[in-house]
Structure 1
Amino acid sequence: MSQASTTHTDFVIEREYGVSPQAVFTAWADPAAKKRWSDCHEDFTTHYELDFRPHGRESHHVDYPDGRRQRIEKIFFDIEEGRRIVFAYDIEVDGRRLSVSLVTVEFTPTPHGTKMLYIEQLAYLDGHEDREIRIRGTEEGLDRLGLQLSAFPRPN
């Protein structure tokens, strides 16, 4: 049996969206909207569920064609309507937990819409490390969020 190990890292992503903080927040809170922009494995998703409230959960399960199974489980700890979301999540592949993260998402009004900060603190477990892939995947999801939000009317 190998010795357990943990490594830590973090990253911050900033985005500007041309809609109100409430519109951006709603895209996180609405299950159908959230699935559209956050699901990067849509063809292989076997389960998606969102219970958006403090101590509510989000579950995302993917079965890949090569037989691998990925499970992402989230729990929401703090939700301030239109202002902030704090949640933790873990990623498991084939029954092996790869990482556990704490995420804070902040929404700040700007003259042109919303500045959104996404701050993730990660604990990688037992030798797993995919920081650059994780950042890229998160950025791609937030880019899809921006495309989805571009259909909303601009704030006055």
Structure 2
Amino acid sequence: MTKSRSVVHATFTLKRTYPASRRDVFDAFANVSKKSKWAYGAPEGAHKLDFRAGGHETVEMPGPGGGTFKYEGVYHEIVAGERIIYSYTFDMGRGPAGVTMTTVELADAEGGGTHLKFTEQGAYLDGFDGPKFWESGTTSLLDRLGQTLAD
């Protein structure tokens, strides 16, 4: 039987204001031990980060419902304290589930702190409920970032 193929394209933007400096928010993305704490909850050694333009980020760990979750990202542009642009592929244990491009923008928030704008453009593959699933997951991820910055 031939596998049904499909692609769903979607874009979502999430905004947060954190009571932390742009330097601290940027560092939470750039530092592997800090990012591992809020981003993945991955076991020791499962998350690797080479945070520079052309650098790679990978995560491989047990996935939801069995199988192995794999994330492979490439950083395209990094402007310290201002902008991070990267693309990534992900596999939820059943083969490629999607390809995305993400832009993280940081700006000073009125009254102090940092305003973050997170925009993701994705191609979600072969029936994977990517747009809803990934936006929900990213919402939780940014909430965890906020909790980590508040600690």
How far, CA to CA, are the matches of 1:11 and 1:76 in structure 2?
19
Q: Match for 1:137: what amino acid? A: G
What TM-score results when the alignment is normalised by the length of structure 1?
A: 0.87
The ranges of structure 1 where at least 4 consecutive aligned residues each deviate by more than 3 angstroms after the TM superposition are 64-67
How far, CA to CA, are the matches of 1:66 and 1:141 in structure 2?
19
Quote how far apart the aligned CAs of 1:127 are.
2.4
Q: Does 1:21 align with 2:22?
A: yes
Unmatched tracts of structure 2, length 5 or more = none
How far, CA to CA, are the matches of 2:125 and 2:49 in structure 1?
26
What TM-score results when the alignment is normalised by the length of structure 2?
A: 0.90
Distance 1:64-1:84 versus aligned 2 partners, 3 A rule: closer
Q: Give 1:61's aligned residue.
A: 60
- Secondary structure (helix, strand or coil) at the match of 2:60 reads strand
- The answer (yes or no) to whether the contact 2:64–2:92 under 8 Å persists in 1 is no
Distance 1:30-1:8 versus aligned 2 partners, 3 A rule: same
* % identical aligned pairs: 32
How far, CA to CA, are the matches of 2:86 and 2:104 in structure 1?
9
Q: Show the 5 A alignment for 1:62-101.
A: 62-64=61-63, 67-94=66-93, 96-101=95-100
User: How many positions carry a matched residue from both structures?
Assistant: 149
Q: Give 1:124's aligned residue.
A: 124
Unmatched tracts of structure 1, length 5 or more = 152-156
Q: Deviations over 1:62-113 (max 9, x none)?
A: 1248641110100000000000000001111335100000000000012321
CA-atom RMSD, angstroms? 1.8
